[in-house]
């Protein structure tokens, strides 16, 4: 079972996104990014990261993405935001963008990285 690391600063969002991802057949590792310092689990085998863009005043999504990339270099990072498009400062850090409020699209995007279709190989490196 593939594992999705979910990083958000809102405990209720962590619960909602964990529920959506688990209903899709994945294991989740939720990390609350606020108010304590971010603690990325070193011992986990993470296949994909779902990263909220707005993490409060003390953390920036690009900085968190860099921390995650150093720990899980092969895991695609999906940015989750209420913005219309991928934020400019995340383009060099993230693999894909998903707009909040559409759980079906979220799960389809996760599936596109973690469930290979017929004749395809599971992606293990971020898209260029």
pLDDT in tens, 67-77: 999 999 999 99
pLDDT at 118: 54
pLDDT at 124: 44
Domains of the chain (ranges, CATH numbers) = 3-114 (3.40.50.2300)
Residues β-bridged to residue 40: none
What is the reported pTM? 0.86
| Token pair in block for residue 51 | 């990263």
- How far is it, in rounded angstroms, from Cα 116 to Cα 91? 24
Angle (CA) 81-105-128 rounded to 5° is: 70
- Tracing tokens 């899980």 back to the chain, one arrives at 72
Whether the upstream peptide bond of residue 35 has omega within 30° of 0, thus cis, is yes
Nearest to 6 by CA among 86, 89, 68: 68
- Tracing tokens 């991802």 back to the chain, one arrives at 21
- Tracing tokens 């860099």 back to the chain, one arrives at 66
User: Quick check: 125 pLDDT over 50?
Assistant: no
| Residue 42: φ, ψ to 5° | -75, -30
| Residue 54: φ, ψ to 5° | -95, 105
User: Which tops the pLDDT comparison, 39 or 80?
Assistant: 80
Q: What is the pLDDT of residues 18-63, one digit of tens each?
A: 999 999 999 999 999 876 667 888 888 999 999 999 987 778 899 9
């Amino acid at each position: 079972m593939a594992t999705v690391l979910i990083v958000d600063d809102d405990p209720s969002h962590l619960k909602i996104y964990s529920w959506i991802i688990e209903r899709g057949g994945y294991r989740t590792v939720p990390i609350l990014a606020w108010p304590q310092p971010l603690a990325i689990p070193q011992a986990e085998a993470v296949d994909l990261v779902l990263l909220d863009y707005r993490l409060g005043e003390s953390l920036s999504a690009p900085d968190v993405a860099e921390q995650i990339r150093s720990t899980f270099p092969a895991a695609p990072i999906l940015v989750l935001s209420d913005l219309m498009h991928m934020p400019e400062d995340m383009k060099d850090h993230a693999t894909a963008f998903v707009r909040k409020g559409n759980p079906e699209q979220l799960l389809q995007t996760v599936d596109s990285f973690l469930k290979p279709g017929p004749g395809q190989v599971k992606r293990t490196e971020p898209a260029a």
